Amino acid sequence: MPVWLRGDVPGVAAPLQAVAHGLLNMLEEVEQAVNQLPRSQLWQNLGGAASAGFHLRHIAGSTSRLFTYARGEELSDKQRTALALEKTATPDVALDDLLHELREVVDSCLAELRSLQEAQLDTPRGVGRAAHPSTVRGILHHAAEHAARHSGQVVTTTKIIAS
């Protein structure tokens, strides 16, 4: 049963339930899709499309970065370094390590969602170095939507590789 049909995520404000459901659904989808993916295929690019490994790393990194902006903070040096390395295939990195990182990011994001009050959601926030205007709510909803988009790419990529 899809996450959103299982009821509310405990402790998350009503306007943020879709964000929590989206992040949890994404995690379940990618875990199922890559469950049997051999390491040799994790970083495989087909037809110029990004590898499943890239998408897993990108989901974790971009979600972490977006939640940082939602808090009104600048990216850390660690986040900037990870961003620079995101597109680099690293065959020595195991699938379990990528999934562990993704689970940690989702757990951290859920904790943040639980700490937010509805009154904070329309607080203006800047995104990126250019500080593009948004709000806490807008950034968080985009984080879930962006993660869902890339989880779909993981699912599709792994199906093509396995065929």
Cα separation of 27 and 69, whole Å?
21
Phi, psi at 34, each rounded to 5°:
-100, 5
> What's residue 91's pLDDT?
85
Cα separation of 127 and 129, whole Å?
7
Cut 0.85: pTM above it: yes
> What's residue 38's pLDDT?
87
> What's residue 116's pLDDT?
97
For residue range 112-139, list pLDDT tens digits in order. Answer: 999 999 999 999 999 999 999 999 999 9
Q: Chain-wide mean pLDDT for the chain?
A: 95
Q: For residue 22, is pLDDT > 90?
A: yes
- Are 111 and 118 contacting, i.e. CB atoms less than 8 angstroms apart? no
> What's residue 132's pLDDT?
98
- Are 34 and 52 contacting, i.e. CB atoms less than 8 angstroms apart? yes
Residue 90, SS3 per DSSP: coil
**Of 6-20, 32-46, 59-73, 144-158, which gets the smallest average pLDDT?**
32-46
Cα separation of 159 and 82, whole Å?
27
> What's residue 110's pLDDT?
98
Q: For residue 148, is pLDDT > 90?
A: yes
> What's residue 39's pLDDT?
84
> What's residue 45's pLDDT?
87
